[in-house]
């Protein structure tokens, strides 16, 4: 069987990497696939992506980078994603990957005018999710972990709007038959989410956030996390 590609666009916090953990480790765990069936390409480090015909699907990681930074590898990845979409290859973009997918398809990505979104947030499904291959049968509202300053401000013209939160109107969308963007992090557990809040505590307080309340509101997110294994099944695993 062809491997599942993880397109790595950056790394997590140094404190979490020091524990031997990174975005791809959490994604592989929650995909519930054999690690030997996963190929990892760090596109942000200039590694060459495999041909779209040589993989069963792709998950695009989060990143501390910003799409608006205009790094050259963004356009390399965007061209690859357009080829993947044209071939109906299963694609799942997470946070930065969600924004990169939107950028690749003509959407607008930039800093959210209301600032960052962080913590365990309530994600609400749109009616179109009822028949969506990935999101169908989920509760109308479910908790998910989020941490981002940039957002998809305008969806691609051909996108199907699938979910939103109170802060961010575009938490999930689909383009083509099998390419999804998720602004939230299905690979995060409660401990990871708390670490992100704790490490950003000083900035958050300056921005007016109640950090203690944010930490107290962190919860498990089984519906969000389960989307990774759902995606793996759609990719044939």
List active site positions. 95, 185, 187
Q: How many whole angstroms separate alpha carbon 104 and alpha carbon 73?
A: 12
Say how many C-beta atoms besides its own lie within 10 A of residue 112's C-beta.
Answer: 16
Count of alpha carbons within 13 Å of 23, Cβ hemisphere only?
Answer: 25
């Amino acid at each position: 069987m062809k491997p599942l590609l993880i397109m790595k666009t950056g790394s997590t916090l140094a404190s979490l990497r020091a524990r031997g953990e990174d975005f791809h480790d959490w994604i592989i765990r929650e995909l519930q696939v054999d690690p030997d069936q996963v190929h990892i390409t760090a596109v942000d480090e200039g590694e060459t992506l495999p041909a779209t015909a040589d993989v069963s699907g792709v998950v695009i990681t989060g990143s501390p980078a910003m799409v608006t930074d205009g790094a050259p590898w963004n356009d390399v990845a965007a061209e690859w994603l357009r080829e993947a979409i044209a071939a109906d290859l299963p694609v799942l973009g997470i946070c930065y990957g969600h924004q990169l997918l939107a950028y690749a398809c003509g959407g607008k990505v930039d800093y959210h005018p209301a600032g960052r979104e962080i913590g365990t947030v309530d994600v609400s499904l749109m009616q179109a999710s009822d028949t969506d291959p990935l999101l169908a049968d989920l509760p109308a509202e479910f908790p998910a972990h989020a941490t981002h300053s940039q957002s998809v401000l305008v969806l691609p013209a051909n996108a199907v709007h699938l979910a939103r939160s109170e802060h961010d109107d575009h938490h999930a969308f689909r383009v083509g038959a099998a390419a999804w963007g998720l602004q939230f992090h299905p690979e995060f557990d409660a401990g990871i989410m708390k670490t992100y809040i704790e490490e950003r505590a000083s900035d958050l307080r300056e921005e007016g956030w109640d950090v203690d309340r944010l930490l107290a509101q962190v919860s498990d997110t089984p519906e969000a996390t389960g989307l990774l294994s759902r995606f793996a099944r759609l990719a044939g695993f």
